[in-house]
Amino acid sequence: MPTGTDLVQHPALPKGLTRRHALGWISGLLTAPMVAHAAAPQRALQLAAAWQQADGSYRIGVLAAPMEPGAPLTVLHALDVPTRAHGVHPLPDGSILATARRPGDWLVRWHPGRPHAEPVWHWVDPTRSFNGHVIGSPDGHHLYTTETDIDTGASLVARRDAYSLETLDEWATHGVDAHELLWAPAAQGSPQRTLIVANGGVPTAPETGRIKRDLHTMDSSIVRLDGSSGELMGQWRLQDPRLSLRHLAWNTDRTVLGIALQAEHDDAATKHSAPILALFDGQTLRVATAPQAVANSIHGYGGSIAATATGWAVSCPRADGIATFAPQGDWRGLVALPEVCALAVARQQLWAAGVAHSLQDALAQPKHHPHAHSLDGARMDNHWAVVSGNALTGSA
């Protein structure tokens, strides 16, 4: 990687790494050079991200997205990780959480920009697997990960210590294939916090990893859990059981939840014309539809979701575009971006990642940002998260 990034490499092979992953990771560590830290461009947005390099290695890091049109997206900080990462979650102290794509075996908390602060790694219990997402508690004391019980296939939320990453408690999600989770707004005058969890509902087997099976038994749902006890407070399902509820975003008022969908129908025509957005107002869960000709081109696959004041955006990598909807779910249009996946909202603008370039203000006046040489051929994973630039300038 060229000078201009701060590549941090873990000094020792963590416990629990499989032999296949260990060999690949060691090979990457031996060939990847250590390079110097570079200051962020002025007026740059900083984004936590996960991506795969052109050479097949995997990284998480902080990207700088300049506000000036045509300025390149660059890497400020990067950390090699042993397998593909998925969800990234910045914490108020400047650290970043990341976990492996399902079925995953690692979780890391890392302080980018602090070379003397070693990453804290956690390797999942052999009876569990990570499902790709992690968030922090409002008070900063705990973390919450979606996981699967390897023996039963049931999904759960693990409440973890924010510093040691060790599991303190486990709560059932009342489904399988739990994926993204987020906090619901507290009711006015109430201290109670609740978690919303998307059960993707796609059955898999421990011995086959991500291979789907028995799709006729799919049972996808949204659940609300008490944030202190894990008690089930509600569960909602769509009429079509073959629509997997996966990624979540609140609207700007935090009154309606948008859910990106992935279709799992046996019939190809039905699958390719399936909706990719569902909306939940706290009582009712419903799908939003696109014109049939448009829906057929989207192929029933929503990658990530974000909301702005003007409506919803769902990345559709199989359609090479961003599907856009009005706040109530009415179709607006498809914004072209080859192999688009990660989305983020900052400064009232939607940012979106492609392979060769990214878009700023994608829903209004799209501005292209080419990717710097350090990201040549890199493939962004589903999620970007906005981080505070001030939190990344300190040193340990």
pLDDT at 213 over 80: no
> In this structure, are residues 60 and 52 in contact, taking their beta carbons and an 8 Å threshold?
no
Distance CA 259, CA 286 (A): 10
Spatial neighbors of 79 by CB under 8 A, at least 6 apart, are 7, 8, 9, 10, 59, 60, 61, 108, 110, 112, 119
Distance CA 36, CA 49 (A): 19
Helix (H, G, I), strand (E, B) or coil at 202: coil
How does residue 31 score in pLDDT terms, banded at 50, 70 and 90?
very low
Q: What does the pLDDT average to over 152-165?
A: 96
How does residue 69 score in pLDDT terms, banded at 50, 70 and 90?
confident
Q: What does the pLDDT average to over 162-187?
A: 94
Domain boundaries, the chain: 6-392
> In this structure, are residues 277 and 302 in contact, taking their beta carbons and an 8 Å threshold?
yes
Higher pLDDT, 139 or 42: 139
What tens digit of pLDDT does each residue of 111-131 get? 998 888 899 999 999 999 999
pLDDT at 40 over 60: no
% of the chain residues with pLDDT over 90:
71
Residue 209 has a pLDDT of: 58
Distance CA 202, CA 185 (A): 28
> Domain 6-392 falls in which CATH fold?
Methylamine Dehydrogenase; Chain H (2.130.10)
Residue 175 has a pLDDT of: 96
What tens digit of pLDDT does each residue of 349-368 get? 999 999 889 999 998 889 99
Spatial neighbors of 144 by CB under 8 A, at least 6 apart, are 134, 135, 136, 137, 157, 158, 159, 160, 181, 195
pLDDT at 143 over 60: yes
> In this structure, are residues 82 and 101 in contact, taking their beta carbons and an 8 Å threshold?
no
Beta partners for residue 371, in sequence order: 73
